[in-house]
Amino acid sequence: MRVELSHVLVSFHSSLHRRILNSSRVDVVFEFKRTSLKLLHQGLEKLENLSIAKQIIHPHPSNNSPRVTPIRSFFNRNLNDQQKNAVSTACSGSYIPCPFIIFGPPGTGKTETMVEAIKQMHKMSTNKILVLAPSNDAADNLLKRLDSIPRSEMFRLTSYSRDKASVDEKTMRYSHYESDGFQVPDNFTEYRVIVSTIMMAAKLYNMGFGDDHFNSFFIDEAGYCWEPEIISILGTLYYRGADVNKMQRCVLAGDPHQLGPIIRSQLTLRLGLDKSMIERLTSNESYVYSKNVDLYPDTSGYNPNYIVKLLNCYRCHPDILKIPNELFYDCELQSGTSTITIIINNILFLSLL
- For 292, the 3-state DSSP assignment is coil
Whether 283 and 343 share a structural domain: no
The CA angle 44-46-52, to the nearest 5 degrees, is 95
Whether 37 and 161 share a structural domain: yes
Whether 51 and 188 share a structural domain: yes
Q: Which domain holds residue 131?
A: 2-310
Helix axes 136-145, 110-123, angle to 10 degrees: 60
Are the CB atoms for 224 and 263 separated by under 8 Å?
A: no
- pTM for the model stands at 0.86
Residues 6+ apart with CB under 8 A from 213: 128, 189, 237
Would you give the DSSP letter of residue 141?
H
Return the H-helix or E-strand segment holding 216: strand 216-219
**The pLDDT of residue 278:** 92
Query: At residue 97, what are phi and psi to the nearest 5 degrees?
Result: -95, 10
Tens-digit pLDDT string for the chain (353 aa):
888 888 888 888 888 777 776 666 778 888 888 999 999 999 988 887 666 666 666 776 665 556 788 898 999 999 999 999 999 999 998 888 889 999 988 889 999 999 999 999 999 878 899 999 999 999 999 999 999 999 999 999 999 989 899 999 999 999 999 888 999 999 999 999 999 999 999 999 999 999 999 999 999 999 989 999 999 999 999 988 778 788 899 999 999 888 889 888 899 889 888 999 999 998 888 788 989 899 899 999 999 999 999 998 887 878 888 888 878 788 788 876 555 454 555 554 445 44
Whether 226 and 91 share a structural domain: yes
Are the CB atoms for 145 and 111 separated by under 8 Å?
A: yes
- For 154, the 3-state DSSP assignment is strand
- For 297, the 3-state DSSP assignment is helix
**The pLDDT of residue 348:** 46
Whether 344 and 227 share a structural domain: no
Q: CATH number, domain at 155?
A: 3.40.50.300
Name the residue among 257, 265, 236 with its Cα closest to residue 248.
236
Which residue type occupies 34?
R
**The pLDDT of residue 336:** 67
Domains of the chain: total: 2
Last residue of a domain, one of 292, 310, 328: 310
Task: Report the C-alpha gap between 89 and 207 in whole angstroms.
Answer: 31
Whether 331 and 281 share a structural domain: no
Alpha helices in the chain (DSSP H): 14-20, 35-48, 53-57, 81-92, 110-123, 136-145, 169-173, 198-201, 227-237, 266-270, 277-283, 318-328, 339-352
Whether 39 and 111 share a structural domain: yes
**The pLDDT of residue 314:** 84
Query: At residue 292, what are phi and psi to the nearest 5 degrees?
Result: -145, 95
Whether 200 and 73 share a structural domain: yes
**The pLDDT of residue 352:** 43
Whether 349 and 254 share a structural domain: no
Distances in whole angstroms, Cα of residue 335 to Cα of each of 214, 311, 327, 342: 37, 8, 16, 10
Task: Report the C-alpha gap between 319 and 299 in whole angstroms.
Answer: 24
Whether 259 and 335 share a structural domain: no
Whether 276 and 349 share a structural domain: no
The CA angle 44-278-135, to the nearest 5 degrees, is 75
Whether 329 and 201 share a structural domain: no
Task: Report the C-alpha gap between 99 and 278 in whole angstroms.
Answer: 10
**The pLDDT of residue 219:** 97
